[in-house]
Amino acid sequence: MPRTADHDARHGQITDAVQRLIVRDGLAAVTVARTAAEAGMSVGLVQHYFTAKDEMLSATFARVNGSFTARVDELVARGEGEGRTIAEMLRQALAELIPLDDARRAEFLVRLAFAGQAAHDARLAAVQRETLAGIRSRVAQAVVNGMACGEVVQGVDADDQARRIVAYTEGLALHTHVDPDGTPGTATLAALDDQLGRVFTGPCRHARLAQRAVDHE
């Protein structure tokens, strides 16, 4: 256990350093030597965990995606406990992709940097496709769940709606990054609500039942 814990801690220390370098200086600034200096360790130690720069980059991308997924899972669990509608939980989850604060901005810059690099790197492109597929799948499942509880009309193509919703959210994220003053957070979230409202048009039976239970406690 101690060895595993130490390995995970070192792994995280290195990928966190890579992320800071990307956010501060761009992807081109990432080298093994600069990562070692940023992480406060020797080059040899970094190379012990990552034999090549590409491995460091892939691991950093995976860590950012893992952080996003963990936050979404926590939001969903909390939302279910509070009796929130699926649309409300989905809105909270998608908002994690939009650079509305420093933490989300840092993650967005990493995703943006990797998107550019993936155009010329088959390995990163595969990770990018897998990540996108995972997000779309979660959104599609939310639409399916919405049909089951009454928030979404029957017969809606969940996969098609997921593509639209994710693409719209990514567009909002890019506009927020490029022109934060012209894309205030309140307007961005209102636009996201409007997009989701085109799909989630009905009341949630489960949310109503949960609220009634809370009211009677």
Nearest to 189 by CA among 70, 109, 93: 93
> pLDDT tens digits, residue range 11-55?
999 999 999 999 999 988 899 999 999 999 999 999 999 988 888
Secondary structure percentages of the chain, helix, strand, coil, to 5: 80, 0, 20
Q: Say which DSSP state 51 is in.
A: S
Label residue 5 by pLDDT band (50, 70, 90): low
**pLDDT value for 208:** 53
Residue ranges and CATH numbers for the domains of the chain are 1-51 (1.10.10), 53-215 (1.10.357.10)
198 pLDDT higher than 90: yes
**pLDDT value for 214:** 45
85-112 CB burial, b ≥16 within 10 A, e <16: bbbbbbbbbbbbbbbbeeebbbbbbbbb
Rg (CA), the chain: 20
> pLDDT tens digits, residue range 131-162?
899 999 999 999 999 999 999 999 999 999 99
